[in-house]
Structure 1
Amino acid sequence: MFGSEPVAEQTATDKSTASSDAIANQTIADAVASGVIQTSRPIEVSSDLFKLRFDESGAVITRAELLKERQEADWTEVGLIGKILGNKAPELRNIVLFDVSPSRAYVAQTGLIGGNFPNHKTLFKYSGTQEGTKIVGDGKNQKTVATKTVVFTARTGDVTVEKSFEILQGHYGINVSHKIINNGDTQISPSVYYQLTRDDGKPEGESSMYYTYTGPAIYTNETKFKKIDFSDIEDKPETVAREDDGWIAMIQHYFVSAWADAPGAKKTEHEFYTRKLDKNLYAVGSIVRIGSVAPKSWTSTNAVLYVGPQDQARLAQIATGLDLVVDYGWLTMLAKPIYSVLKALYDAVGNWGWAIVLLTCLVKLILYPISAAGYKSMARMKEVTPRMKALQQQYGNDKPRLQQAMM
């Protein structure tokens, strides 16, 4: 159903002599854009925000249920009469982003390219889930949070990859690391790819009353924020840019998944792309060059996988420009600061309803001088209206004398 080309492999000679351009061409044409979504033994891990299902095939998250986010009620399924009669809308379930099911294909994939290395089709071994704590934040905002780290390992040829997913309490950003061990006698130069693969179907639970954007987005320092419709990918399979920074995302109404560099990560070349993998199946990805790994040594690379609501404050902490996925349209200049004030009020009172009431009062207070001037103008008009009517009756159709009298 989700088939595509197999991941290409290289010989040891190829691995040591391939140019960067050759590797780049191989990655997009053969390796990264493989649309195979395989499943094997599932491993479930829960936190305060997530219920995640991992799969040993590729060591990927195949299901991400957001425990504190519920679907919107779609009253079109009940109808106006049903609503008047008090009929209940369908039961609201938790939002599910990543999912592999008969009706949905949506996963986050990673792997190595540039040689015979573990990738998103390799069978990994689940090594366990480690619980611990971690200090997050800066200065006075520092706090200790609980963590769960899910670890998978795989070996292909002379290369071992240890892939870890660190889940932090209260955070929608999952820290993903790849420890790459070169067990061989020759130097290797792999690249790591981060990919979001999704079908073009409408998100479950989304209202049919209005249109919202669902699809990929890419942000680079050069081109900034760019949405790419699934239909555009159909017409132009590859959209490639090379930058030293940026991120990729898959957007839907109110929610987003995104791959971004870990905070403080060394800037290195990124290659961004979009690709149609199969019928109704598309991918957006980023290829990051790791550099050379000497024989009998190792290196590591880190990234953040955000899976959650389009919360501007949270998104801005993950990566520069990631908060742009919150689309206000042409009202951005006005709506963005208003939302910031609304969020501050919510943080103060802890209730969105009261936050909206306070915001309304604040807006009315700010606009009071304009409103007051309008009321004064209306009062003056009310005073002069009887006099104007009297003059109109007195002078009739003699407009020059009427105008002179009114002046």
Structure 2
Amino acid sequence: MILILTLGVLAFLLWDAWERDYGPRAGAGSAPSQQASPSAGGAGFAETESDIPSAPPALPSAEGDIPSPADEISAISSSTAETAAPKIKVITDVLAVEIDTRGGTIDHLELTGYPVAVDRPDEAYRLLADRDPDRYFTVRSGMARAQGADPNQRLPTSNTVFEADRSLYELAPEAQVLEVPLRWRSPDGVEYLRTYRFERNAYTIEMHTRVSNTGNAPWKAALYAQMQRTPPSGGGGLFGTYTYTGGVLSGPQDPYEKVDFSDMGRDNLERDVAGGWAAMIEHYFTVALVPGAQDTNRYYSRQLAGGKFALGVVGPSRSIDPGQSETFSLTLYAGPKIQDRMESLAENLNLTVDYGFLSIIAEPLFWLLRWIHTYIGNWGFSIIALTCLIKLAFFHLSATSYRSMARMRKLQPRITALRDRYSGDRQRMNQEMMNLYRQEKINPLGGCFPILVQIPVFIALYWVLLESVELRQAPFIGWLVDLSEYDPYFVLPILMGLTMLIQQRLNPSPPDPIQAKIMMALPFVFTFFFLFFPSGLVLYWFVNNVLSIIQQWVITKKIVGTT
């Protein structure tokens, strides 16, 4: 019976690893020759026509038609695009940000509370970086020309150079809010004031663009924003643990739709959604664009030059008469996948913490684990406590299974005798064995179901421990300084393998020699597989095995009389 559990879990782990190695690979749509690299001038990629969302057809909305952007950016000279523009540094209690005055966009963002690694505590994790040789990831925005607007209308794009009051903004110790204003005046006489609003202890960045039409002609356009990045290099290894990296869209019809890089390379997605959001997610962190919830927004994806991919949103267009003003707003989330914070920002944004098809089980498990941690204060001991609670919940089911196995073990000598007596008549042997089971009131499969019921819980907990940013770089004891990484000395996997060997001694010996050999090999196979699994997951498995051994030993001793 234990064979069913172990093979079931092993099959899941193998399937998961195969999916990540040979399933749809991120970035499959990009040409191999298109590698992300910083520009020679150090200003990152220059915007091209393909960076701007294509012209969608008119779509009625509460505030006018969905815009179609400029068909070209001829008004912006190539010499201007190549000229470096000043950078603005913004420092809050949780973020270190660089805003490029060219385009007024955030092209560099570090999470100061999240080091790159345990052994590099002073190096903050870079979530956005436009000059990183290993990966390009930035957020760009501008104004898209609406249908019917003057084709000669000059609009700010991510190549427009804004003016700033100073080059450094720092959140004061007593302040709760920090605002960074940027200004640009078009040749048409239209004034643009873009203000970034940062808050203390927050990973949300509000972007407000106030358009004041001081010219003589009506103004009509819409705000667009897009995330641009290159796919991650390399794929998942057989013994590693990797999670989805790519795009996600959310709307009323589909709250969580993955749009991986191969999809972006194959199709130019365009979708009109009421409210919604778009995100680029990776393990533990996410960047999301959240437009107005009451607006009809157009979400789109593009494959760009240089091996880049874009996922963005265009809001509804607005008309501004001379002498009038309007404000366009959008919220950017750039930070860890903390579910409470994301859920309070936008509906279903917390789903970027992807627990897979068993999220209905995983979410309560995470809630319980987090609740335990509020009292214990150590994630390792919290996992142990959660394991004990799960074991308690399945105590009676496990007891049923162990009693069945103990009775089978007690009958082992009689079963062996029947096999020897009727070794030449398999049909008669099976008939006599069934008579023996009926006589002793034993169901030979009685131990299977209670164990099978627990497999979904294990898989759900696997995703909880793998996906939760709270466990990233969480220490336990001694050498286990990061529960999200593998045990550097492989102590836990070896101990787990030993507990599996002990469990085998408590189980009845398989009658089939081949099955017996498989059972003997499983502890070594699982130990090998778990060498590079997150130590938090191995800790759960080890503690669960220890508790199972104690329960099974007590039950077996009562029924068999000796172990």
Deviation (angstroms), 1:72: 4.9
Residues 4, 179 of structure 1: alpha-carbon distance in 2 compared, 3 angstrom cutoff? closer
Of the candidates 27, 34, 42, which is equivalent to residue 69 of structure 2?
Answer: 27
Gapped regions of structure 1 (runs ≥ 5) = 10-17, 74-88, 134-143
Residues 290, 38 of structure 1: alpha-carbon distance in 2 compared, 3 angstrom cutoff? farther
* Residue in structure 2 matched with residue 314 of structure 1 by the alignment: 341
Deviation (angstroms), 1:387: 5.8
Residue 350 of structure 2 aligns to which amino acid in structure 1?
D
* Paired residues for 1:7-406 under 5 Å: 26-27=68-69, 30=72, 39-72=84-117, 93-101=123-131, 103=133, 104-114=135-145, 115-127=153-165, 129=169, 146-156=176-186, 157-202=188-233, 209-236=240-267, 238-261=268-291, 265=292, 267-385=294-412
- Offset from partner CA, 1:353-404 (integer Å, 9 cap, x none): 2221221121111111211222332343344445666777899987577765
Percent identity between the two aligned chains:
25
Once residues 196 and 38 of structure 1 are traced to their aligned partners in structure 2, the CA distance between those partners, rounded to angstroms, is 23
Deviation (angstroms), 1:313: 2.2
Once residues 126 and 349 of structure 2 are traced to their aligned partners in structure 1, the CA distance between those partners, rounded to angstroms, is 21
Residues 201, 302 of structure 1: alpha-carbon distance in 2 compared, 3 angstrom cutoff? same
- Offset from partner CA, 1:231-275 (integer Å, 9 cap, x none): 322222x210112211111122221111103xxx46122111111
Maintained 8 Å contact 2:66/2:297: no
Maintained 8 Å contact 1:199/1:280: yes
Q: Could you say what secondary structure the match of 2:347 adopts?
A: coil
Residue 217 of structure 1 aligns to which amino acid in structure 2?
V
Residues 215, 162 of structure 1: alpha-carbon distance in 2 compared, 3 angstrom cutoff? same
Once residues 390 and 53 of structure 1 are traced to their aligned partners in structure 2, the CA distance between those partners, rounded to angstroms, is 79
Residues 5, 54 of structure 1: alpha-carbon distance in 2 compared, 3 angstrom cutoff? closer
Residues 241, 28 of structure 1: alpha-carbon distance in 2 compared, 3 angstrom cutoff? farther
For normalisation by structure 1, the TM-score amounts to 0.77
Once residues 130 and 319 of structure 1 are traced to their aligned partners in structure 2, the CA distance between those partners, rounded to angstroms, is 27
- Offset from partner CA, 1:137-173 (integer Å, 9 cap, x none): xxxxxxx972211111111122212111111122111
Maintained 8 Å contact 1:48/1:170: yes
Maintained 8 Å contact 1:167/1:173: yes
Maintained 8 Å contact 2:225/2:313: yes
Residue 346 of structure 1 aligns to which amino acid in structure 2?
H
Aligned residue pairs total 365
Residue 5 in 1 paired to residue 35 in 2?
no
The structure with more helix, counted as a fraction of residues: 2
Deviation (angstroms), 1:312: 2.1
Once residues 313 and 130 of structure 2 are traced to their aligned partners in structure 1, the CA distance between those partners, rounded to angstroms, is 22
Once residues 55 and 306 of structure 1 are traced to their aligned partners in structure 2, the CA distance between those partners, rounded to angstroms, is 18
Maintained 8 Å contact 1:39/1:55: no
Question: Which range moves more in the overlay, 354-363 or 91-100?
Answer: 91-100
For normalisation by structure 2, the TM-score amounts to 0.57
Once residues 188 and 339 of structure 1 are traced to their aligned partners in structure 2, the CA distance between those partners, rounded to angstroms, is 50
Q: Could you say what secondary structure the match of 1:327 adopts?
A: coil
CA RMSD, Structure 1 to Structure 2 (Å): 3.7
Deviation (angstroms), 1:47: 1.4
Maintained 8 Å contact 1:146/1:168: yes
Maintained 8 Å contact 1:248/1:285: yes
Residues 381, 46 of structure 1: alpha-carbon distance in 2 compared, 3 angstrom cutoff? same
The structure with more strand, counted as a fraction of residues: 1
